[in-house]
Structure 1
Amino acid sequence: MSANSAEGPARVEVVLVKAGRTKIRYPADLLSDDGARITVRAPWAGDGTRDFGFVRFEPGDVFTEHYWRDRWYSVKEVRTAGGTLKGHYCDITRPAVLTGTELVVEDLDLDLWRSADGTDVRRLDEDEFAASGLPETDPRAAAAAVAALDELETRAREDRFDALLS
């Protein structure tokens, strides 16, 4: 289902929750919702520039974000204001929930980066995940999170990543 109308794309509010608290909330254009995958587009919602060392997110960057109701991750295509692909930032999350115009996603600390050319694939924040206590408090969710990270890394390294987004 396309989410566009004569007035333009529908709007949703993306709500990223971490450890029971809202980490960030921002408006996004709802591009599509096929019942399993929800795709939105939004400008970089962070304050100023965030330099990770291997990529910089900065004002003007555009994120096309793919969320699934039945998968434990989201994939964010990151482009410059001019349209150049920087890469894909993947959050390991519980499956997304869209209620009305609010898209709620619970971040489980693990992340994956894949550069535009696919040569730089890196797992991120495994120390934060271990420190979160999730493996002890919710072993089923922790196992699903690790499996999701493994799946994304395998897809990224075997050039099967783009199939997720088509």
Structure 2
Amino acid sequence: MSANSAEDGAGAERVEVVLRKAGRLKIRYPADLLCDDGVRIVVRAEWAGEGARDFGFVRFEPHDLFTEWYWRDRWYSVKEVRDPSGVLKGWYCDVTRPARRSGGQVVVEDLDLDLWVSGDGRRVLRLDEDEFAASGLRERDPRAAAQAEAALDELERLAREDGLEALLR
């Protein structure tokens, strides 16, 4: 952790995470800034959705705790998800354009592709490839589409070979 960090979140600077999709606001929520080393930004926040959301492979619920890693030089973010008692549910990975931090905001643009890795590492699921195909990104911005697909492949490889913990150290 850098000098600009608060490892446990106590006394951490508050930031707002802003997730955009196709040029529109998808969600924004407050988070504690744990680290910003100039390349990687780490925040912690409670589940920001309305009520519970069951994806079939995991259920996000009020008071679930998300520790989120964003990179300024990578096309993805990784969110470690724990229940209120601290039990690891898994990692939800979003394929995004590289993050930006502007003032008190961490801003990312979601590119539809996602990866879920269960807490025991046994289940690795590629998600929303149909949404990505329908988004038109391949036609509008072929370079970004190629970066997004490469990012999903990289995340899946890391999850299957090393586990995501190695990436987050």
- C-alpha separation in 2, matches of 1:138 and 1:165: 29
- C-alpha separation in 1, matches of 2:98 and 2:147: 10
1:146 corresponds in structure 2 to 149
2:132 corresponds in structure 1 to 129
2:65 corresponds in structure 1 to 62
- C-alpha separation in 2, matches of 1:11 and 1:164: 24
- C-alpha separation in 1, matches of 2:154 and 2:86: 28
Q: Is the 8 A contact 2:97 2:110 kept in 1?
A: yes
Structure 2 residue 127 is matched with structure 1 residue 109: no
Match of 1:165 among 158, 163, 168: 168
Match of 1:82 among 57, 71, 85: 85
The offset of 1:118, in angstroms, is 0.5
TM-score, normalised on structure 2?
0.95
2:46 corresponds in structure 1 to 43
- C-alpha separation in 1, matches of 2:104 and 2:85: 29
The code of the aligned residue for 2:26 comes to K
User: After TM superposition, which residue ranges in structure 1, 4 or more long, deviate above 6 angstroms?
Assistant: none
- C-alpha separation in 2, matches of 1:29 and 1:3: 10
Q: Identity of counterpart residues, as a percentage?
A: 73
Structure 2 residue 101 is matched with structure 1 residue 92: no
- Name the stretch that deviates more: 7-16 or 96-105: 7-16
The offset of 1:163, in angstroms, is 1.2
1:13 corresponds in structure 2 to 16
2:159 corresponds in structure 1 to 156
1:119 corresponds in structure 2 to 122
Structure 2 residue 32 is matched with structure 1 residue 22: no
- C-alpha separation in 1, matches of 2:63 and 2:163: 28
Q: Secondary structure at the match of 2:98?
A: coil
Q: Secondary structure at the match of 2:162?
A: coil
Q: Secondary structure at the match of 1:8?
A: coil
Q: Is the 8 A contact 2:90 2:116 kept in 1?
A: yes
The code of the aligned residue for 1:119 comes to R
The code of the aligned residue for 1:67 comes to Y
Task: State the number of aligned residues.
Answer: 165
Task: Structure 2 unaligned segments of length 5 or more: list them.
Answer: none
Task: Structure 1 unaligned segments of length 5 or more: list them.
Answer: none
Q: Secondary structure at the match of 2:12?
A: strand
